Amino acid sequence: MKLRIVLLALASALLTPAYADAATADTISADRATVREYPGRLVLANAAAGDVAEVQAYCGDWVRVRLSPRHAMATPVGWVLRGHLAKASQSGGLAGVPERCGTDGDRWRDWVGAINAPFHSLRLVDGGWRRITFGTGVSLAAGCVPSLNYMRDPNGPDRVDPAQAVSGLDLAKVSYRYVTTDGAVALVSAPRPGTSYGVWGFVPSTCLLPKGRAHVYFDEPVVQLRNISGLDTGVGYSNETVRARGCSAAVTSPVQPSYGYWPDPEAANRPPCPV
């Protein structure tokens, strides 16, 4: 009997989410906080000031949270900057919270159908390979305004939330990042006039119009590298450098080919390096 109780307790511990025992109540303090699928990577949603957050883990300056929002959003779970949380941003604010770097590394697969460029990628510009660290410039169709969030509908396509439309953006400087798995919604960035950084928001993918190119993503050759450590932005690297870092050709999205690449195809599906 005692053995059975011990086994049941052990099973319960194994089935309980690892984050639960370290959860810490906090609140979003920034006016807007991007919620990412992985530390510093793709934006899945935007949190708002006052949203209650259950802190679950951290990795560097990023904190994994589960939000209780007062507004629509595609997911309440993701990574936000520590500085955007009221308690976690303080000295000792993450005491007792576990460090879990590497968690959610493949989570993008649940959200992204096509992207402007794969992770660890370079494009061919004037005979040299340059790191891709930004979205491709696009135009928006008339009447399209980015929203801070979109909603997933189990009975239909993803839908942008018009109640969270962002006004005052410079829509002449819109950049495209990715479309969702069903292809209905696109993540874009647009700055406010006079600023150099963009506000991440969502629009129906039908709003995207190519700007100075045939597609909404890069027309030029794109490659993925196994190792980009030490490669600077704005520098054109040689074919030899690219080959030496584990080069493979980028793969156009199998489900949304008109919107770009598949970020991380299975190794067996990666075409060989084109140079």
pLDDT tens by residue, 146-183: 999 999 999 999 999 999 999 999 999 999 999 999 99
Write down the pLDDT at residue 266: 83
- CATH number, domain 18-109, options 1.10.10, 2.115.10, 2.30.30, 3.30.450: 2.30.30
- Distance (Å, rounded) from C-alpha 222 to C-alpha 125? 10
Q: How is the chain split into domains, by residue range?
A: 18-109, 111-132+218-269, 136-210
Question: CA gyration radius for the chain?
Answer: 21
Residues in the chain: 275
Angle at the Cα of 264 from the Cα atoms of 252 and 36, rounded to 5 degrees: 110
Is the pTM higher than 0.95? The answer reads: no
pLDDT, average across residues 97-104 = 95
Write down the pLDDT at residue 79: 98
pLDDT for residue 47 is more than 90: yes
| pLDDT tens digits, one per residue of 4-19 | 444 434 443 433 444 4
Beta strand residue intervals within the chain, DSSP E: 24-27, 32-36, 43-48, 52-59, 62-68, 77-81, 112-115, 121-125, 128-131, 136-140, 150-151, 159-160, 174-180, 185-191, 198-204, 208-210, 222-225, 247-249, 251-252, 261-262
Q: What percent of the chain has pLDDT over 90?
A: 87
Q: What's the chain's average pLDDT?
A: 91
| pLDDT tens digits, one per residue of 213-272 | 999 999 999 999 999 999 999 999 999 999 999 999 999 999 999 999 998 888 788 899
